Amino acid sequence: MNLLKQFINNTWVESSSAQHLEYYNPYTEQVLGVVSECSTDDVNRAVQAAVKALPHWRCLSSQARGHYLSCFADFLEAHKSRLVREVVQNNGKRLLEAEMDIDDAISCYRYYAEVSATLEDEQSIHHPSYSITRCYEPLGVVAIITPWNFPLVTSAWKIAPALLAGCTLVFKPSEVVPLPEQSLAQAAIEMGLPEGVFNLVNGGASTGVALTSHPDVNKISFTGSNSTGSAVMRMAAKDVKDLTLELGGKSPILIFPDVSLEAAVEAVVSGICFNAGQMCSATSRLVVHKDIEEALYDRLSNAIAQISLGDPFNQSTGMGPLTHVKQLEQVNRYLSLAKQEGLEGLTCNQVAQRPSTGYFVRPHVFRNVPRSSCLWQEEIFGPILCTQSFRNDEEALFIANDHPFALAATVICEDKEKARDIAKRLQAGTVWFNTEQVVLPQTSWGGFKHSGIGRELGPFGLDAYRGVKHVMGPLI
The answer to whether residues 83 and 149 belong to one domain is yes
pLDDT in the model for residue 283: 98
Is the pLDDT at 2 greater than 90? The verdict is: no
φ, ψ for residue 344 (rounded to 5)? -90, 115
pLDDT in the model for residue 409: 98
In a domain? residue 311: yes
Is the pLDDT at 407 greater than 90? The verdict is: yes
Could you give the number of structural domains in the chain? 2
The answer to whether residues 274 and 238 belong to one domain is no
Where in the sequence is the domain holding 20, given as residue range(s)?
2-247+451-474
In a domain? residue 446: no
pLDDT in the model for residue 18: 81
The C-alpha atoms of residue 342 and residue 412 are separated, in whole angstroms, by 29
The pTM of the full predicted model, rounded to 2 decimals, is 0.97
Is the pLDDT at 1 greater than 80? The verdict is: no
Query: What CATH number corresponds to the domain at position 30?
Result: 3.40.605.10
Across residues 221-229, what is the average pLDDT? 97
Is the pLDDT at 348 greater than 70? The verdict is: no
pLDDT in the model for residue 101: 98
CB-based burial of residue 340 (10 Å sphere; 0-12 exposed, 13-18 middle, 19+ buried)?
A: exposed
Q: What is the pLDDT of residues 282-330, one digit of tens each?
A: 999 999 999 999 999 999 999 999 999 999 999 999 999 999 999 999 9
pLDDT tier for residue 352 given thresholds of 50, 70 and 90:
low
In a domain? residue 445: no
The answer to whether residues 67 and 195 belong to one domain is yes
Tell me which long-range contacts 298-301 makes (C-beta under 8 A, separation of at least 24): 299/261, 299/262, 299/265, 300/265, 300/268, 300/269, 300/346, 300/365, 301/346, 301/347, 301/348, 301/349, 301/365
CA distances for 349 relative to 265, 307, 308, 384, angstroms: 16, 12, 14, 18
φ, ψ for residue 350 (rounded to 5)? -135, 160
Across residues 156-161, what is the average pLDDT? 98
The answer to whether residues 156 and 31 belong to one domain is yes
* Percent residues over pLDDT 90 in the chain: 95
The answer to whether residues 20 and 156 belong to one domain is yes
Side-chain-side CA neighbours of 237 within 13 Å: the count stands at: 6
pLDDT in the model for residue 354: 76
The answer to whether residues 204 and 265 belong to one domain is no
The answer to whether residues 220 and 263 belong to one domain is no
Whether the CA torsion 47, 50, 52, 55 is positive or negative: it is negative
Query: What CATH number corresponds to the domain at position 346?
Result: 3.40.309.10
Across residues 442-467, what is the average pLDDT? 98
The answer to whether residues 120 and 16 belong to one domain is yes
Across residues 413-417, what is the average pLDDT? 97
Q: What is the pLDDT of residues 136-147, one digit of tens each?
A: 999 999 999 999
The answer to whether residues 144 and 102 belong to one domain is yes
The answer to whether residues 436 and 455 belong to one domain is no
Side-chain-side CA neighbours of 408 within 13 Å: the count stands at: 24
In a domain? residue 188: yes
Q: What is the pLDDT of residues 38-52, one digit of tens each?
A: 999 999 999 999 999
Q: Residue by residue, what is the 3-state secondary structure of 365-397?
A: EEECCCCCCHHHHCCCCCCEEEEEEECCHHHHH
Is the pLDDT at 265 greater than 80? The verdict is: yes
Is the pLDDT at 350 greater than 80? The verdict is: no
Q: Mean pLDDT score of the chain, rounded to an integer?
A: 96
pLDDT in the model for residue 16: 87
pLDDT in the model for residue 351: 56
Please list the active-site residues. 246, 280
pLDDT in the model for residue 19: 87
The answer to whether residues 271 and 392 belong to one domain is yes
The answer to whether residues 225 and 371 belong to one domain is no
Is the pLDDT at 170 greater than 70? The verdict is: yes
pLDDT in the model for residue 17: 85
